[in-house]
Amino acid sequence: GHIYDTVKQGDFVGYKTKYNKKKLSLRMIIRTCPSAGLVFPMKMIQESGFFDEQFGIGGFYGSGEETDLILRALKYGYRVKYLTEMTLSHPVPAIKRQLSHQKRKMYAEGLGALFSKHKGYKILTLLRIEHKLRLIAKILVFKGEKKELAINEYNGFKEGYSRYAKK
């Protein structure tokens, strides 16, 4: 559903109303599907399984638990839709908006591992390449702190992908 950031006084994720009741693409699910606004029918959880505890805060890979669950549900024929009439108020303190190097690397590792786990989806191979190219472009274009963050994310993404692949 729609997530309203009570601190920013605006949308937490910039989905437009044109997506209301529309099926979300894999790209949108991978890039901008925040777990705080997801609602699942219990039947879906029972069929596709619960959260993979390797993913998410406290897991081996620090992110990707909700996207992993969605990708598994898609294999069972479930669809993901965005509903603007469902609103969740979610305070996101300004200090948490600036992710530390460590958190960015952790999130990137989770995303890399997620791509490795679900490499059976051909579109995910394209999205993985697109993501790597975006990070490489940032490394080439940015300077200073932004460049360091991009390098950190790139390394985390590669590490997460290869570590999961070795399992």
In tens, the pLDDT along 130-165 reads: 999 999 999 999 999 999 999 999 999 999 999 999
Q: Give the model's confidence band at 26: pLDDT under 50 very low, under 70 low, under 90 confident, else very high.
A: confident
- pLDDT score recorded for residue 135: 96
Q: If we measure between CA atoms, which residue out of 36, 27, 31, 25 comes closest to residue 3? A: 36
Distance (Å, rounded) from C-alpha 117 to C-alpha 26? 15
Q: Is 82 exposed, middle or buried (0-12, 13-18, 19+ CB in 10 A)?
A: buried
State yes or no: pLDDT of 1 exceeds 60.
no
- pLDDT score recorded for residue 97: 47
The reported pTM is: 0.78
Q: Give the model's confidence band at 128: pLDDT under 50 very low, under 70 low, under 90 confident, else very high.
A: very high
Distance (Å, rounded) from C-alpha 25 to C-alpha 31? 10
State yes or no: pLDDT of 96 exceeds 70.
no
- For the chain, count helices (H), then strands (E): 7, 3
